[in-house]
Structure formats: C-alpha cells, structure tokens
Structure 1
Amino acid sequence: MNTTLSRRTTVTALATALLAGAAAPAMATSTGPDRPELRKAMNAFVAAGFTGIQLRVRDQQGDWTGSAGARELGSAAKPPSNGSFWTGSIIKTFTATMVLQLVAEGRSELDRPAAAYLPGYGLDERITVRMLLHHTSGLFNYTGEYNPDGTMGEPGIPANGDGWAPNRFKSYKPEELVRLALSKKPRFEPGTQWSYSNTNYTVTLLMIEKITGHSYATELKRRITGPLGLRSTLAAGNRTTALPGPHAHGYYQYQDQVIDLSRQNLSLLTGAGDLISTTQDLTTFFSALNGGKLLPAPLLTEMRTAIPTSIPKQDYGLGIWAQDLGPGCGTVYQHNGSPPHGYGALMYSSPDGSKTLTASVTWLDSATRGPAKDFLTLVDALVKQEFCDPPTDSSDQREPAGQSQPRSPGSAS
C-alpha cells in the first residue's frame, strides 16, 4: 500500500470503501488456551470501527495472544499478534525507571532540584526530580495546555489534528522543546498541583543524558532492553522512522488524503512518547518491573506511591498510574499511550507482575475523532474482563477503567 492514498472522491467515501475491503477478517484469531471472552472483547473494537487490535494476556491460565480486524486498510490480512507499534506515553514508565536506577546508584536524588543536574536552562530551583516524574512541576506542556473540558487553552507545537499532519516528518531537538516550554508562563507554582505535561519527561531525558554522559538510547539499551532481551523495543529519537518488521497500520484523514502513520517522526515527543515496542516486549518489561527485577524494593515503592490527579480513581506515581478498578477488581498499575493519531497502546499489570495485559489498537483517525470516541469504553470492558471477578448481577456498575491519560487517543500523550 502506498504511504499516502489520494483520490478525487471525498475522504469519507474513500475511507468507507477501504474499510469495507477490510471487513471480512473482523473475527479474532488467537493462540494459547481458548479465551472466548477475550476474543469477544477484541471483536468489539473492530465492530466499533477500529481497524485492528493485537492483544497479549499473561495470567494463571498461561500466555494468550490474539488479533482481530485488518493489518491495513483494504487488506484481508489480520494484524500480526506480536507486531511493532508506536506506544506513545508508555515510554514515560521506561524513563522513570532509568531515573530511579540512577537514584539507586547514588547518582541522582528524587528531592534534589532538577537544575542541579541540568544547569543552563533556567529551571526553577524549586522543581525537584520527583516533581518532574509526578507531573507536579508546573512546567508548560510544549504540545499545548488543555482546558478541563478538553478544548485547547494555551497552544504549543501542534501535536495532533490538521496542524500536525503536514509537519509529521519535522525533526525537533529535545533542547528546543524544553526551551520553548520554559519560555511560557508556568501553569502553577512547583509542587502545588498536578498537570500531565510531556515537558517533564523530555527534561528528564536531558537529565539522564547529562548525568550518564550517554544518549538516552544507549542508556535504554544498557539498563532495560539489553538485560531483559527486548529486541523489538527502541526509542525513535530525532529521525523519521518506519515501524520495523511486521506491523499494523494506523491512519489519519487529512484533506483529500488518507495518511499511513506507520512512518513518522516522533521527535516532537522525545522521551515522552517516541517508543516503538511489541506486546511481548511490553509484557516482559512490565512484569519484570512490578516483580521487582528492575528496581530495589524501596524505590519500586517510591515509584508506586501515587498522588491524586484530575481523573477519578486514577493516581499517578513516578511514571506509572495506580488505578482502582472498583469492587471485585482491586488496584492495577498501568501506563497507556498514543502518539498523535491512529495508534493506541495498553500496558497493565497486577501489583506482583504475575498478571499482565498489553495491546495495540489501530484505526483511521480524523479531526472528528472517528471511532476513537469509543476507545475508553472498550478498554474498560477489556481490562475488567481480565482483572475483575465476574459480576454477580446485572446491576454491577463500575467506572471506566480506560482513562489512563487526561485525554483520549490522538492527544499525543
């Protein structure tokens, strides 16, 4: 399939025709013990209009993988069950883990000013490393600040929509992103409130590089992907990158084109949303992290000591969400994410790391959101299917479990 499809027909007509060509492979396929409830949950995504989904679950029943929908528009091939994808903000958990490893080595301190490790930027001396990881620094989000109702408040660099699409191959350096953020008025005084900001984790990336004297990519490989054998996980960094190996395609409708987003430049989200991975690698990573294999016990406790956020029943630790799924479910740790458009990624774990759920969802996105409006509801059903006890009656009502980010997929977080 060409990277960009252009037709004289309207975008709506084109998308409808392409989706019709991909309708045949909607039913899910899987490996491992039969899990009809998981196949049903995957099929619900496709029925709602998502192009495809790949899912991996590890629990007391063993390892289970499955996929549903289409690998790309107009194709009968299903998504690969372990294909590569853009993970978006899931990289924040990797970034925070590396910082905590530096703390374990005595090379950083959580409650020391970040400016001590990153001089020359004019960081407020009151902003600590912990505040960066907690999203309590008050630093302006360089991709823009949103109002509580989801509308744009103070704009930054366009990170989604038609303002982003023509610039999706533009290259950014982390230093310029941070300097842009610091040129803006802080959202609040350091440590006084919580607000999700990509700036925090790009600052953290620069801090990691300053302390170690190595690139973020080098430290990621040395500290996490190498020791765990994560051969399909890498930070895209400051370059245009095509997803490697087998992968599903996400799309964005832009003017009279349907843009294939399997190739883009995510340097706009350096350290905050530019990771490539697979469900298998994310499962290995998150199971190891929660199982205590990457951090000493006291620092894993620090990481999972979460503070209240603007999202009900979801508190934020150091690069990780602690989410209360409600009665019969308990707490899970997670970090989901999405790059600007067309891809969504899920990463959930029980507290001991013995039960995990990882997934990637693809769709044809647009300025009108397309099927993404149903994303949180579908994630809620999928996650509760795995982590909750079966409801005892039809009156069981639980709050959505999928709101892992302040906004829905396509918000570049």
Structure 2
Amino acid sequence: MVALAAACDSGGTDHAEPAAEPGRAKIVAALHDLISVDRLPGAQVVRTEHGKAWTATAGVGDLERGTPFQDNARVRIASNTKTFVATVMLQLAAEGKVELDAPVERYLPGVVHGPGIDGNRITIRNLLQHTSGIPEYAAEFGTTPKPGQIDTHDERIRWGRTDIAEVVRNALTAPADFEPGARWTYSNTNYALAGMVLEKITGFSIGAEITHRIIDRLGLPDTYYPDADEVDIRGPHPRGYARIDGKLVDYTEQNVTSAGAAGAMVSSGADLNRFLNALLGGELLPPAQLEEMKRTVPLGIEGQSASYGLGLLANPLSCGTVGWGHGGDIDGFETRGGATDDGRAVTVSVNQVPESGETTGHLNAIVDLALCAGS
C-alpha cells in the first residue's frame, strides 16, 4: 500500500504498485480534486483490467470519524440496478419466456393504462430503453413532486416500505410524455414495470432472480438486493450524505423499496467491474441478446454524445472506443463507471450526490481517463 496523504491535503490511499498502472497518477489526482475542488466528502475509484484491480480513495467515508472509504466498500448503486434487471429480462428472452417487442399488456394485463398510455402499444423494449413515454414516478432531488410523483425525502418513504405497484398506479394517472418509440426520456417507472413483468413471468421476486441468475453465478461477494424492510447497508461501507434544506444530512440508512427494480441494489466497485466485464464478455447473455442490449438510441439531449440500449449506456471515450455501463444517484451516493469490450472496467463512487452537473462531469471524466489509460 502506498500512502498518498502527504501528496494531497484531503488524504487517501492507493492500493497499487507505484508504477503498475498506466495513467494511475492522473486518475488519483483527479479523484482528489473531487474533494478539494468539488467539496465532496469522499471518493473511491476501482479500476480493473483482465481481472486485476487496483483501488484508490480520497477524502473521508465518515465525516464524524474522519475515516476513509474501506476496501471493497459497499455503496448504494441506485440506477446501476437497471443493468442487472435488463440482463435478467434478456436471459428470459433467450429462454423464450418473454418477447422484447411484445406489448406489456401481454404480461401485465390491465396495468399499463392512463391518459395517452396504452399497454397494448408499449413494448418490453420500450420499457428497457426508456422510449415508452411513461411518466416518471419519483420527483428529482430538491424539486416539488408533480401529480402522480412521490417525494423521496418524505420521512415515511425514507423509513417505511413502499408499495411500488401503488406508486406505479399513481404515476400512470399523469399524461404520457410522448408516443411510444417517438423519443428517449429517462423514467424510473419503466423499470418499476419491468420488475413487475419479471416477477409475473418467473413467480419469484426481482431480488431473488438477480441473486440466482447473476450474483451467485458470478460470485459477487459484495452485491445484493436489499430485503423489503432493510434500512442499513450490510458489511463495510462509507456513510452517505445528502444536502436537504441547505444542511448536510447523514442519509446512509433508508428503506429503498421506493427505488425497487429501478435502483435498490448495493454493490462495490470491484463487483460492479466484474459484472460489467462478465456481461460484455458473454458470460451472462448469448450473443444475440447481448447485441440487442447494445442496440442504442440517441438521448436527444444537447451536448450529450451518449446513447442508450437496453439498460446500458454507450459513452464514446476520448481514446476512440466506447464505454458501456450505467451510473446511479440515490440520496447519499453517486456511482459512475463503465467497461470496454477488451476487458477494462472502472467504477467511481462518492458518498454525496453532487449538487451540480459540473461535478458529475468530473466523475465521468475520471471514468474516461481510467478506461483510456494505456490504450
């Protein structure tokens, strides 16, 4: 272990041999900038290449104790959950149990309907690709909920179990955002519905299916789908912080049933890297289904070059290749990462959701730097 505290005021550790990784010094310096410039409490980067990983941390994982992120720190990975859910759906497609271009109505009769919303015209592909036009069920951080949306800062939602089926019903009382397939707009409701489809088809919970089909299969020791009444994070983890009404609040403990199939999971950087490398390497899906997952549509957002497949973002990298992954935000944590087709993967985790898009851009820049190092 090489201590870096003397090189940067925020402190930190780097678990790698000094000259073992190309670009390591720049990556670690950028990680420390998240603390000194962007004023985040703590950060961790895990880079994996062909099964060999190294980890570096900056800042603190616990403001009260002043301790850093632990090795194999577990964090709430939020919307990275969507890639796991999409992978299970594509496994079921490979098994002939679901058709991607079949209407949702076939699997959830009578559920998907509302003003301008018709489950006979919305497909499973639309759900996984965010091209359904179905409105969002969760209010964005710091905004007033719209009709049909929930406030994730409501103390009842933070500590109590959420009936996601009821949440979906309420969301579907709002009008459709657009005609199915007309464009791309991110909506967590799509994945709440995808989770309901998976449970209807398999007869098991989405957590059980992800555990059996992915976590146990790959041997991911730090990854799990929380139980319905769980509020703690199991195992080693940093504290997670959220700024609410101008105050920094410890938001580590929370019930994530409101996130559900759209964002409930916990994992570590090493496990996320292993998952993405296994996915892209064909360990989880046959070639035809992996190709479907990687068929993308443009986001249609000015300044954004990324495109979206089935639970998988394609991010063009500065070195000319593509980083495949997702990313996620939930009160207390943000993760950004990706993997390349040639066996490199990186996850950057911070223990506070950035308060500006600029800071999230800095996380994405670290991902780009790490994936392109040595290429």
Which TM bucket (shorter chain)? 0.7 to 0.9
- Cα RMSD, aligned residues only: 2.5
Consecutive unaligned residues in structure 2, runs of 5 or more: 1-7, 19-23
Which residue is equivalent to 1:388? 372
Partner of 2:351: 362
**Is the 1:145–1:154 contact (alpha carbons within 8 Å) kept by the matching residues of 2?**
no
CA contact (8 A) 1:165 1:254 kept: no
CA–CA separation in structure 2 for the residues paired with 1:291 and 1:127: 30
2-structure distance, mates of 1:232, 1:389 = 26
Deviation at 1:76, TM superposition (A): 2.6
2:65 alignment partner, SS class: coil
Contact residue 336 and residue 364 of structure 2 kept, 8 A: no
Distance in structure 1 (CA, Å) of the matches to 2:151 and 2:281: 35
Which residue number corresponds to residue 138 of structure 1? 133
Question: Residue 145 of structure 1 contacts residue 155 of structure 1 at CA under 8 Å; is this kept in 2?
Answer: no
**1:40 and 2:35 correspond:** no
Aligned residue for 1:234, secondary structure, equals coil
Give the letter for the 2:360 counterpart: L
Whole-angstrom CA distance in 2 between matches of 1:72 and 1:389: 30
Measured in 2, the distance between the counterparts of 1:27 and 1:319 equals 36
Corresponding residue number in structure 1 for 2:171:
181
CA contact (8 A) 1:237 1:270 kept: no
Partner of 1:168: 158
Q: Measure, in 2, the Cα distance between the counterparts of 1:114 and 1:167.
A: 28
Aligned equivalents of 2:246 and 2:337: distance in 1?
Answer: 34
Residue 218 of structure 1 is matched in structure 2 by: 208
User: Is residue 285 from structure 1 mapped to residue 275 from structure 2 by the alignment?
Assistant: yes
Aligned with 2:322 (options 318, 322, 331): 331
Conserved 8 A contact 1:169-1:265: yes
8 A Cα contact 1:90 1:347, kept in partner? no
Contact 1:329–1:389 at 8 Å: present in 2 too? no
Q: TM-score, normalised by structure 1?
A: 0.80
CA shift in 2, pair 1:111/1:296, >3 Å:
same
Aligned-residue offset at 1:232: 2.0
- The 2-side partners of 1:373 and 1:297 are apart by 35
Write the mapping of 1:178-257 to structure 2, written as runs, cut at 5 A: 178-236=168-226, 238-254=228-244
Match 1:90 to one of 80, 86, 90: 80
Question: What is the CA–CA distance in structure 1 between the aligned matches of 2:299 and 2:167, rounded to whole Å?
Answer: 25
Residue identity matched to 1:95: V
Matched, 1:271 2:255: no
1:398 aligned residue: none
Aligned partner letter, 1:78: P
- Looking at structure 2, the residues matched to 165 and 175 of structure 1 have their Cα atoms a distance apart, in angstroms, of 20
Q: How many angstroms does 1:373 deviate by? A: 4.7
1:336-351 equivalence runs, <5 A: 336-339=327-330, 341-351=331-341
Q: What are the superposed Cα offsets for residues 73-110 of structure 1, whole Å, 9 maximum, x if unpaired?
A: 13231111311111010000000000000000000000
Q: Could you tell me whether the CA contact under 8 Å between 1:174 and 1:206 is conserved in 2?
A: no
Report what 1:317 is aligned to: 309
| Percent of aligned pairs sharing the same letter | 34
Deviations 1:268-293 (A, max 9, x none): 11100111111121111111001110
Give the CA deviation at 1:168. Answer: 1.7
What is the aligned partner in structure 1 of residue 21 from structure 2? none
What one-letter code is carried by the residue in structure 2 that aligns with 1:360? S
Which residue matches 1:379? 363
Structure 1 unmatched ranges of 5 or more = 1-23, 392-413
The one of 295, 301, 322 equivalent to 2:291 is: 301
Distance 2:359 2:71 in 1: 20
Identify if the C-alpha distance between structure 1 residues 65 and 106 changes in structure 2 by more than 3 Å, giving closer, same or farther: same
What is the letter of the counterpart of residue 129 of structure 2?
H
Could you list the per-position Cα deviations for residues 160-218 of structure 1 after superposition, in whole angstroms to 9, with x for gaps in the alignment? Answer: 5xx54664213211211221122221111111121100000010001000000111111
Shift of 1:262: 1.3
**Quick check: 107-116 or 29-38, which moved more?**
29-38
Q: Is the 8 A contact 2:86 2:310 kept in 1?
A: yes
Alpha-carbon distance in 1 for matches of 2:373, 2:271: 27
Pairs aligned (count): 355
